[in-house]
Amino acid sequence: MKVKVVLHGLAVDPVSNSPVMLLKEVQGERILPIWIGVLEATSIASKLENIQFPRPLTHDLMKNILDFLGIKIPKIEIVDLRENTYYAIITLDIQGELVDIDARPSDAVAMALRMGSEIYVNEEVLKKSQTFTESPVKETQEEMVGATEEEKEKLKEILENLDPKHFKYKM
């Protein structure tokens, strides 16, 4: 089953100092944190802030090429989590023919933002990952699966201390 999500925001993990992309389900409270690279976070943030560069960045170039060729991206989907690595697909609509392309989740989300595409996460990925809820009352260790108890506690502590007011970019 596919769960529709939106980009809830970008944050910085205070422990690793790495950017974290937060995807929140549209019809629920679960939030999926995905640690991403600095360049991908910059690309996502530049789109969120509508920052225009004199020359196109990689994701902007890809959008320009797809637009020129008349190719649409109706959706992207986070489809798997294996060995702490997330996998995504970008679905291209090429004159009515749908083609799935393998991608990193951060690149897929960067393209979805530029193309106005829907974003989905496979329910199994949510079950395997360390999801949490926006409401602290509902947040329990049982809701965070796929990690050791120590990792769950560490993530729970980080997330409890995250204040949405401190997100650099919030949707």
CA distance 9 to 167: 7
Amino acid identity, position 7: L
Tens of pLDDT along 9-44? 999 888 888 999 999 999 998 999 999 999 999 999
Q: Are 99 and 5 in contact (CB under 8 A)?
A: no
pTM over 0.95: no
Q: Domains in the chain, ordered, with CATH?
A: 2-170 (3.10.690.10)
Tens of pLDDT along 36-77? 999 999 999 999 888 888 999 999 999 999 999 999 999 999
Tens of pLDDT along 125-153? 999 887 666 554 333 333 333 445 665 55
C-beta atoms surrounding 161 within 10 Å: 9
Predicted confidence at residue 138, as pLDDT, reads 38
Two tokens, residue 17: 């100092």
